[in-house]
Structure 1
Amino acid sequence: MKVIQRYFTTEITRSVMFALAAFLALFAFFEMMGQLEQVGRNGYKLQQAVLYVVMGLPGNVYELMPTAVLIGTIYTLSQFAARSEFTIMRASSMSTAMAAKVLMRIGLGFAVMTILFGELISPKATEWAEKLKLQAQGASLSSQFRSGMWAKDVIKDQGLEGNVTGSRFINIQAIQPDGRISGVKLYELDTEFHMARMVTATTGVYQGNHQWQLNDVLQSDFATGSKDRSITEPVKTRKLPSLALVSEVTPEILSVLFADPDRMSAYDLRAYTKHLEANNQRTERYEIAFWKKIVYPLSIFVMLALALPFAYLHFRAGGVSLKIFTGIMIGVCFQLINSLFSHLGLLNTWPALVTAALPSLLFMGLAIGALWWVERH
C-alpha cells in the first residue's frame, strides 16, 4: 500500500503542478494585457506592471487550486485506466474505499498549501501589489463616494476600555500608500445622539496601539442638550497643531473598505466583522467571506472525490482528452456556483456557514452519486 501511495502522490502532484502552471500562465497573460493599457500613464512603467502581475499570482494560486487538483487528478487516473494500471490495482484487492483513502491523503497536502496561500501569502502579496501600483502612479486610495470614506467608532471614557460615552463618525478623503490619511473629519455624538464635538484635520498619522496623531486640527465643542440658558457660547472653536486620537479604527480596518473580501485572510475578516458588530453595522458580506475561507480548503477533497469515478470509465477513442475537458467544465461550474451562492446568500440573508458550505456539499453529493453509479456498472 505504501508503494501505491507513493506512486499516486508522485504522479498526481506532477500533473496538478503542470495544470496549475498552465492556468497561472493564462491568467497572468490576460492580467498583463489589462496592465499594458495603463503603462506610461502617471509614471507607471513596464517593469512595475510586470511586478504587479507577478505579485497577484499567489491570489490566483489560491483560487485555482481546487480546479487544478481536479484536472490533474483526472488526467493521472485516466492515464492509469488507459494503461490498465488501475485495473491491475483493483485486481490486486484495492477497493474503491482504499483508492479514496489514498486520494484523501494526497489532498491533505494540497489543502495545507491552499490554506498557506489564502491566509499568509496571497493577502500580503495583494496588499504589496496595490501599494506598489499606487506609489508608482503617485496616487492614493479614495472612496467611490464623493463625500469620501466613512467609518463608525464608539467613544469610551477610558480609551478603548470603560463605559461607552458616545459614538464617532469618521470621514476620510484619501489614504496614502504609506497609511497616512488626509482630509479627516470627526463627528462625535453623545449617548442621546446630540452633537458633542466636531474635529477637522489636514492629515493623520497612525502611531500604533490604536493611537492616531491628527495634524493641523480645528476642534469645535458643542454645549449639547444643555437647558441652561445662561450659556452664551454654545460652540467653542479652537485651533490645535496636533491632537491625539484613540480609536478602534486602524489602517488595517480602513484598508478593508477598499479590499476584496475574497482576497483577505480569515483573521482579518474576523477582526473586521467584530468591529462592525461592535458598531451595530451589517456584517453579512464579511461573514460569508469568512466562512468561505474556512470551507474552501475542504473543496480540495471534494475535487478528489469527483475525480475518482473517472478511473473507472473506459473510452475507446479520445478517452483522456474527453475526461480532461469534462474536468475543466466541472471546475468552472464549481467556481461559478460558489460565487453565485455567495450573492444568493447575501440577497436572501441565508446563514453564512450554509451559504459557504452548500456548493461543496452539492458537489460532494454528485461525487458520491458518480461513485455509486460506476460501482454498480
Structure 2
Amino acid sequence: MLKILEIYIGKMILNVTLIILTILISLSAIVKFIDQIRKVGQGEYSVGGAIFYVFLTIPRDVSIFFPMAMLLGVLIGLALLEYHKELMVIQLLGFSVLQIVYAVIKITMLMVLLIMIVNEYISPLCDQKARIYRSYMIYNRSSSPTIFSIQKNGLWIKDSNNFIFIERILGKNLLSGVNIYYIGPTGKLKFIYASMASFFKEDWTLFQVKEIDFREENQVNIKHFQNSTWKTHLTPNKLHLLALGPDSLSFVDLYKYTQYLKKIGQYSNYYEFHMWKKILYPISIIVMILTTLNFLSRYQYLFRSISTRIFIGFSFGMLFYLLEHIIGPLMLLKNISPLLGALTTSILFIIINLCIYYRNFLHHHF
C-alpha cells in the first residue's frame, strides 16, 4: 500500500513538473527565436536555420529551468493533493509527513539523475552543434561545416609567457589570424603574426609568418617565414573548450581543462567553480526544496492559501538562484576556494532549515 501511495505522489509531482518545464522552455524558445530572426539573411542563415538553432538549445534550457520547475512541481503537486483532500486521506492511511517528504525526495532524485545525464552528454553536444551550425551558415557556407566564428572581437588566451589572440577558428585543427605576444624574462617583447595555423600530431605549423623582435635595445628585427613550428600547450581540444565557455561543457571537459590550466600555472578557479556546481547540482535542488517545504509546513497557519504557498515557494527558488549567481562569483573575486563558493548557498539554506527546526523545538518545549 505504501509503495502505491509513493508512486501516486511521485506521479502527481512528475506530471506537474513536466508541464511547468514545458511552459518555461517554450517561452524561452520563443524569445530565442525572436532574437535569432535579427540574424536571418546574414549569409545563408534562414528562418528554418533559426528554428533548428533554437531546437538544439533546448537541452541546455532543460537544465537551466529544471530547478525552478521541480520546486514549483512539488509545491503545486502537493497543493493539488491537499485541495482534493487526497493528502488527508493518504495520512489517514498511515502515511506520515516524513514518508510524504521521502516520496518527494525519491521522485526529485530520479529526475535530477536524468537531468544530470542530459547535462553531461546531451546538452554540451547540442550546444556546440548549435553554435557551429549558426556560424557556419552565417560566415562561410561554402566551406567545411566545422567552421565557426568565436566572437566579433576574437579570442584572447594566455599560455605560459605567451599572450595569444586568435581571430577565427576555421576547423578543429585550423586557425586564421594568429597573433602571439611573447614577453621574455627580461621584459623584452617578441611579436609573431601568422595568417594561418594548422595542427598536426603534437605541434602547430604557422604559415605566412611575420616575426617582430623588440629584444635588441633601440632596434627592431623583422623576419618573414613561409612556415614555422609553434610549440605550445594549447591543443585543438583545449582551444575548443575555451571558445565554448564553461556553461557549454560537460563535467569531464571542465575537469580536464581545469587540470590543464593548473599545469601551465594559469587561473583555474572560474572553471573549477563551474565544475563543482555541476557536481553539487543534486544537493542544491534537494536543499532548496526541503527548505521551502520545511518553511511552509512550520508556518502553514500563516500561509493557508495555496496561491500564497506557491508564491512563497517561488520566492525561495528565486532567492536560491540569485544567491548562487552572486555569492559564488564574489567569492572567486576574493580568491576563495571554488568548492566553498559552489557550496555556500546550500550551506546558507541548511542553516535556515536548522533555525526553523530550532525555533519549532523551543516553541514546543517552553
Q: TM-score range by the shorter chain?
A: 0.7 to 0.9
Q: Partner amino acid for 1:2? A: K
Q: Aligned partners of 1:178 and 1:136: how far apart in 2? A: 17
User: Are the equivalent residues in 2 in contact too, given 1:201–1:216 (CA < 8 A)?
Assistant: yes
Structure 2 CA distance for partners of 1:287 and 1:91, relative to 1, 3 Å: same
Other-structure match for 2:143: none
User: Are the equivalent residues in 2 in contact too, given 1:12–1:76 (CA < 8 A)?
Assistant: yes
Given candidates 166, 170, 173, the residue that maps to 1:176 is 170
Other-structure match for 1:63: 64
Other-structure match for 1:302: 287
Structure 2 CA distance for partners of 1:202 and 1:308, relative to 1, 3 Å: same
User: Are the equivalent residues in 2 in contact too, given 1:74–1:311 (CA < 8 A)?
Assistant: no
Other-structure match for 1:116: 117
Other-structure match for 2:258: 273
Given candidates 163, 187, 203, the residue that maps to 2:196 is 203
Secondary structure at the aligned position of 2:177 is classed as: strand
User: Are the equivalent residues in 2 in contact too, given 1:38–1:44 (CA < 8 A)?
Assistant: yes
Structure 2 CA distance for partners of 1:152 and 1:314, relative to 1, 3 Å: closer
Between the two proteins, the alignment pairs up a number of residues equal to 353
Shift of residue 10 of structure 1?
1.4
Q: Aligned partners of 2:259 and 2:108: how far apart in 1? A: 32
Q: Aligned partners of 2:335 and 2:239: how far apart in 1? A: 25
Q: Aligned partners of 1:371 and 1:82: how far apart in 2? A: 26
User: Are the equivalent residues in 1 in contact too, given 2:49–2:134 (CA < 8 A)?
Assistant: yes
Matching of residue 351 in structure 1 with residue 359 in structure 2: no
Other-structure match for 2:93: 92
Secondary structure at the aligned position of 1:176 is classed as: strand
Shift of residue 17 of structure 1?
0.7
Indicate the structure whose relative CO is greater, using CA pairs within 8 Å and at least 6 residues apart.
1
CA deviations 1:184-238 (Å, max 9, x no partner) are 244567777777x86543212233x5443433345689999xxxxxxxxx97956
Q: Aligned partners of 1:264 and 1:317: how far apart in 2? A: 41
What is the 5 A alignment of 1:147-158?
A: 149-153=155-159
Shift of residue 369 of structure 1?
5.3
- TM-score, structure 2 length as denominator? 0.82
Matching of residue 216 in structure 1 with residue 208 in structure 2: yes
What is the 5 A alignment of 1:1-377?
A: 1-138=2-139, 140-142=148-150, 149-153=155-159, 168-176=162-170, 180-186=174-180, 199-207=192-200, 210-217=202-209, 237=223, 239-240=225-226, 242-245=227-230, 247-306=232-291, 308-309=293-294, 310=296, 319-367=305-353
Q: Partner amino acid for 2:204? A: W
Q: Partner amino acid for 1:356? A: A
- TM-score, structure 1 length as denominator? 0.79
Shift of residue 33 of structure 1?
1.6
Percent identity (aligned): 25
User: Are the equivalent residues in 2 in contact too, given 1:28–1:53 (CA < 8 A)?
Assistant: yes
User: Are the equivalent residues in 2 in contact too, given 1:210–1:247 (CA < 8 A)?
Assistant: no
Structure 1: runs of 5 or more not aligned: 155-166, 225-233
Structure 2 CA distance for partners of 1:258 and 1:238, relative to 1, 3 Å: closer
Q: Partner amino acid for 1:203? A: M
Structure 2 CA distance for partners of 1:304 and 1:149, relative to 1, 3 Å: closer
User: Are the equivalent residues in 2 in contact too, given 1:131–1:177 (CA < 8 A)?
Assistant: no
Structure 2 CA distance for partners of 1:49 and 1:200, relative to 1, 3 Å: same
Shift of residue 302 of structure 1?
2.1
Shift of residue 312 of structure 1?
8.1
CA deviations 1:53-98 (Å, max 9, x no partner) are 1111111111111111111111111112122222233333333332
CA deviations 1:122-176 (Å, max 9, x no partner) are 111111111111111116535565xx5333445xxxxxxxxxxxx5443322223
Range moving further from structure 2, 73-82 or 319-328 = 319-328
RMSD of Structure 2 on Structure 1 (CA): 3.5
Secondary structure at the aligned position of 1:172 is classed as: strand
Shift of residue 347 of structure 1?
2.5
